[in-house]
């Protein structure tokens, strides 16, 4: 089995001995998520060898899992089961290593590698451009901390953490409309004048007033934005995305407009409106706008919010979806050469990893060949 290499075996041994770091445990978690459905892990062991693997080493690994705190990085809801499976895999792989079992020696066909020449690129970071109503552009990742602008009764400041905060002092008739935009490879957090918290994913924007003086608080977004809206029943909050509107009082929700407009509710309640149609979302539901129709579905909130929590999270995603998300985060262009494979990818990968490391971890797209030319990803079916 070509997936069993020295690196993985080394990490499993460190895991069993209690010496693995959080990052190493995280790497093992990612590896097993990508290979947990692979029967090669156990198919070539006799029943006696499987029992040997599980009886001793598995007990020690499970004991460690029960006694120690969970790792600091977030896992899916099925994490306890995953860790049990990882323990089994660790047991079996160590028996394979110690007993001299090498699946590649069994004349199995060696699958062609996913990647050709891959240049490495750093992951995205905290950066954005603030465009004031007068046309002035402020590159926020280069701006100094403290007050960076003032508009009427609002003062705009950059915090020590690199976020932008609006402070509204009293009331003023002068309200300026500003736009905050994240580029490819950018991520940013913003606090509006009413205390509403906003997180922007890469290639996203939000247009908003410097202060909220009217009867309604209204902003306009594109890309992907997560918001925790400050409660104020006397001043409803509205989010415009294209021709559609999300109405809220106080709630936590995510809006993704990259390919289609999807609104996901985490907490509270929101109303979706389109061409006179109106539907209420409940926590855990996602509203999808298709034309003027609104379709509601239950979704995995961990998967939806993975970007904000520092992960890529895919479930049965096609190569186009995966690569387009990578392109936004690593500030790359992606070119698809010819028809693409119908293979899908399921996995959870840290967004803190470099591009080359991410591609190396994705060995399930066996019929796809990926190379880079400058900042361009070339994707071709083999």
pLDDT tens-digit series, residues 359-370? 988 766 677 888
| Residue 42 pLDDT exceeds 70 | no
Q: Is the pLDDT of residue 142 over 60?
A: yes
d(C-alpha 93, C-alpha 1), whole Å: 10
168: Cα within 13 Å, side-chain hemisphere? 18
| Segment 250-275 mean pLDDT | 92
Give the per-residue pLDDT at 169. 78
| Distance, first Cα to last Cα, the chain | 21
Q: Output the CA angle 121-126-130, nearest 5 degrees.
A: 125
pLDDT bucket at 87, cuts 50 / 70 / 90: low
CB-based contact 24:13 (threshold 8 Å): no
For residue 78, which of 43, 38, 36, 41 has the smallest C-alpha distance?
Answer: 36
Average pLDDT, the chain: 79
At 272-300, the pLDDT tens digits run 988 788 899 999 999 999 888 899 999 99
CB 375 within 8 A of CB 184: no
pLDDT value for 127: 96
pLDDT at 38: 53
Q: Please state the domain extents for the chain.
A: 6-106, 220-309, 311-381
Question: What pLDDT is stored for residue 18 in this prediction?
Answer: 64
Q: What is the pLDDT of residue 96?
A: 44
**CATH class held by domain 311-381:** alpha beta
Using the predicted structure, report yes or no on whether residue 257 has a pLDDT greater than 80: yes
What does the block give as tokens for 40?
């090669």
**pLDDT band per the 50, 70, 90 thresholds, residue 77:** very low
pLDDT band for position 168 (cuts 50, 70, 90): confident
Gap between the Cα atoms of 360 and 382, Å rounded: 17
What is the structure's pLDDT at 155?
92
Report residue 265 as tokens. Answer: 């509710």
User: What is the CATH code of the structural domain delimited by 220-309?
Assistant: 2.60.120.1440
Predicted TM-score (pTM) of this structure: 0.72
pLDDT at 93: 53
Q: Per this entry, what is the length of the chain?
A: 382
- Summarize pLDDT for 188-236 with one digit per residue, the tens: 999 999 999 999 999 999 999 999 988 999 999 999 999 999 999 889 9
Q: pLDDT tens digits, residue range 101-121?
A: 333 333 333 344 455 678 999
Residue 119 · residue 57 · CB < 8 Å: no
**What is the tens place of the pLDDT at every residue in 44-55?**
445 554 444 444
Gyration radius of the chain over CA positions: 24
């Amino acid at each position: 089995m070509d997936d069993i290499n020295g690196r993985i075996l080394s990490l499993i041994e460190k895991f069993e001995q209690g010496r693995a770091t959080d990052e190493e445990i995280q790497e093992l978690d990612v590896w097993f998520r990508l290979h947990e459905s692979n029967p090669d892990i156990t198919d070539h062991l006799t029943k006696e060898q499987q029992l040997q693997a599980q009886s001793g080493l598995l007990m020690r690994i499970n004991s460690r899992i029960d006694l120690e705190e969970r790792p600091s990085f977030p896992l899916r809801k099925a994490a306890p089961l995953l860790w049990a499976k990882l323990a089994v895999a660790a047991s079996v792989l160590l028996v394979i290593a110690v007993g001299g079992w090498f699946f590649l020696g069994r004349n199995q066909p060696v699958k062609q590698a996913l990647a050709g020449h891959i240049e490495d690129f750093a992951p995205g970071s905290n950066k954005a451009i603030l465009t004031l109503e007068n046309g002035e552009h402020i590159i926020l990742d280069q701006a100094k901390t403290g007050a960076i602008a003032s508009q009427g009764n609002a003062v705009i400041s950059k915090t020590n953490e690199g976020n932008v905060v609006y402070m509204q002092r009293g009331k003023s008739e002068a309200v300026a409309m500003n736009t905050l935009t994240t580029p490819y490879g950018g991520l940013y957090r913003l606090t509006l004048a009413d205390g509403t918290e906003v997180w922007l994913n890469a290639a996203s924007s939000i247009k908003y007033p410097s202060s909220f003086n009217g009867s309604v608080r209204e902003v306009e977004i594109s890309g992907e934005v997560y918001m925790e809206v400050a409660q104020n029943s006397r001043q409803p909050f509205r989010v415009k995305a294209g021709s559609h509107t999300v109405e809220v009082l106080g709630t936590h929700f995510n809006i993704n407009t990259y390919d289609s407009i999807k609104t996901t509710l985490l907490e509270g309640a929101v109303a979706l409106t389109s061409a006179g149609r109106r539907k209420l979302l409940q926590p855990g539901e996602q509203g999808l706008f298709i034309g003027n129709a609104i379709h509601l579905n239950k979704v995995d909130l961990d998967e939806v919010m993975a970007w904000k929590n520092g992960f890529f999270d895919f479930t049965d995603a096609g190569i186009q979806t995966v690569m387009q998300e990578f392109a936004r985060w690593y500030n790359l262009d992606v070119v698809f050469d010819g028809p693409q494979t119908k293979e899908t990818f399921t996995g959870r990968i840290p967004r803190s990893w470099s591009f080359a490391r991410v591609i190396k971890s994705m060995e399930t797209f066996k019929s796809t060949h990926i190379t880079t030319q400058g900042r361009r990803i070339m994707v071709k079916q083999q």
